[in-house]
A and B are shown apart, each in its own frame.
Chain A
Amino acid sequence: MTNSYFDNNVFNKGKAFIPFITAGYPTLEDTERFILKMEEAGADLIEIGIPFSDPIAEGPVIQHASTMALKAGTTLDKIFDMVKKVREKSQVPLVFMTYINPIFKYGCEKFYAKCNELNIRGTILPDVPFEEKKEFEDVAKLYDVDIISLVTPASNNRIRKIAEASRGFIYVVSSMGVTGTRDEITTDLGAIDEIIRKTTITKTAIGFGINTLAQAKEISKHSDGIIVGSAIIKIIDKYGSNSDEQIFDFVQSMKKAINS
């Protein structure tokens, strides 16, 4: 199935670069500024992480950022307020990445209605596999929000059915395990890409473990975009509220690298 929003707004300027940021780390004011910086640097889509107390798919870097954001008092309502401020200045494509419990507890209907109001068109939910997504997708569809499907190195015989039912774009997980930078990515991403390409025209983005420009450039051969999370959080670990320029440079050089 084709989805014009992501095709027309994210994957329409060469290979897409998709940075991730944990909302509220170190503060929501910082997150708001960092999002605008990322857009300015050429980010095609920004993944906003809604922090969860027990993120089972995250490595230590994003776990730590989530814990700090929650300690600083970040809540879903405050995140929506922050996005509203972003929307006063920018229509940069945004998706939420979070675990299902914060959405479930907030109220699925209320959550997706709010996403619609703020022009957030996708959610990435690492603890909602293909078998469980219907409950949430039925509601999300009503508000024009896609639930982004994930394909992993262990998906094998599941890739086709996941790809067939995909909406928005497909998140290809580069490696086994949790998020976090890796020196080496050994998965045969070309093979996964080939199955997806034979099945659907939905665009793909590869994430998990991508760290360096050379890695991003190499891996981007097998997808329409690249997602980077932990490497950005590490910049914020180091520079805190003063990460603006560092983030700008990183995003700009990544976008350039995957399109050179």
Chain B
Amino acid sequence: MTKGKYGEFGGQYIPETLMNEIINLENSYDFYKNDEKFKTELDFLLKNYANRPSLLYFAKNMTKDLNGAKVYLKREDLNHTGSHKINNVLGQVLLAKYMGKTRVIAETGAGQHGVATATAAALLGLECVVFMGEEDIKRQALNVYRMELLGAKVQSVKTGTGTLKDAVSEAMREWSKRVDDTLYVLGSVMGPHPYPMIVRDFQSIISKEAREEILLMENKLPHSVIACVGGGSNAMGMFYNFIPDKEVELIGCEAAGLGVDTDKHAASITKGSIGIFHGMKSIFCQDEYGQIAPVYSISAGLDYPGIGPEHAYLAQTKRAKYVPVKDDEAVYAFEYLAKTEGIICAIESAHAVYVGMEKAKSLNPDESIIICLSGRGDKDVKAIAKYKGREIHD
């Protein structure tokens, strides 16, 4: 009877108030994903608005320097709004419009999903409210102003730890108050079914393109595909079309913060356990009594105590592996990529870059790896400077 399961993970653990609307969303998605008009319009927006397909860039300098496998970067940072988040929101906000909704709400951590949702809402003429933890509002002030410029209202969330998980909770609470005209545009492959499926489908364009691109350039599949994971949307998008290619190693990079042996991390798979939260059965950082643990990462986008259910399943079945990356390692990779390739990536993506660097070194030159650069790093520059002991004043 239970829908949307990935092995034992997934499901629909949400209040009864939202059930009919979730069913409505699923039915609408099932209908429109095969509707020619919807598909044509979405395809047009992805190409002519979001700048797809994104480049699969051969990182020549990195490859030479690391002296191992060829390094390719999937440049989601070059999308409009600067991250992979636009892929999903164009799909969901367009779906909202086709469903007859006039208002969208969203949660955001780093602000990337919030900015993307505000952008799509501005383009398609829907009202937009973004929920953001008050800690994240401080960390990502620039993105807050961006959302406001785009006509969205940013709602500060003061409950709990004032971060991404609290923003998700508050968006769910808001949605349960007002479902008739509102769609909750979820930013990651998490939450109740059908969200993990919808977001994965919209993000799977990353691996659809990357798989074609690498075959064209290398004439064989990559040895490894690497992406960072918070909730896990860029990773799910980056992995999805490679899942049937058993020989391709899939690596998700979790935020280890100050280290997984401290209490300052957000490494759900490495340190968490099975639980039920935010609508899904998955793996969460929690205490022995099932209270959700406060998590930490230098990256506001990976600062979430759980992971999408399909990732939990890929981890359990060992189809993908998940490794922790600490703040200092991510910052090292952030600087390395800037100096070596002239690319300032998001601090989230830098977690994947770090693992990619280690991986490339361990492989032969006839192999290749793909690292997903999920976003660009303009938003992080000030925080990284501060991390390095330098205050930048506006």
Contacts and interface: CB of A to CB of B under 8 A. Distances in A.
A56 B172 CA distance: 7
A176 B19 contact: no
Interface size class of A (residues with CB under 8 A): 35 or more
Contacts of B176: 57, 176-178
A53 to B, nearest CB: 4
Contacts of A100: 13, 276
B275 to A, nearest CB: 5
Nearest to A101: B290
Contact of A63 (B159, B178, B292): B159
A176 B18 CA distance: 9
Contact of A105 (B172, B173, B177, B289): B289
B276 A53 contact: no
Contacts of B17: 57, 152-154, 173, 176-177
B276 A129 contact: no
A126 interface: yes
Given A100-B276, A154-B21, A158-B20, A75 B177 contact: no
B241 interface: no
A252 B211 CA distance: 69
B165 interface: yes
A28 B15 CA distance: 28
A151 B17 CA distance: 8
Interface string A213-254: 000000000000000000000000000000000000000000
A178 B173 contact: yes
Nearest to A176: B177
Given A52-B291, A154-B20, A131 B286 contact: no
Q: By CB atoms of chain B within 10 A, which of A70, A100, A103 has the most?
A: A100
Q: By CB atoms of chain B within 10 A, which of A127, A134, A153 has the most?
A: A127
Interface in B275-308: 275-279, 284, 286, 288-292
Contact of B16 (A52, A59, A129, A177): A129
B194 interface: no
B160 A54 contact: yes
Interface residues of B, number: 39
A153 B178 CA distance: 12
Contacts of B18: 154
B165 A54 contact: yes
A54 B178 CA distance: 20
B19 A129 contact: yes
Contact of B15 (A56, A70, A102): A56
A150 interface: yes
B111 interface: no
B119 interface: no
A116 to B, nearest CB: 20
B377 to A, nearest CB: 30
Contacts of B20: 154-158
A76 B287 CA distance: 12
Given A132-B2, A132-B11, A152 B16 contact: yes
A102 B289 contact: yes
A105 B179 contact: no
Given A101-B275, A101-B286, A178-B177, A134 B1 contact: yes
B54 interface: no
B12 interface: yes
Q: By CB atoms of chain B within 10 A, which of A77, A134, A177 has the most?
A: A177
A54 B277 contact: yes
B165 A104 contact: no
Interface string A127-167: 11111101000000000000000111111111000100000
Interface string B258-275: 000000000000000111
A60 B169 CA distance: 12
7 contacts: A54-B166, A56-B278, A76-B289, A104-B274, A105-B275, A131-B2, A150-B16
Interface of B: 1-3, 11-21, 159-160, 165-166, 169, 172-173, 176-179, 273-279, 284, 286, 288-292
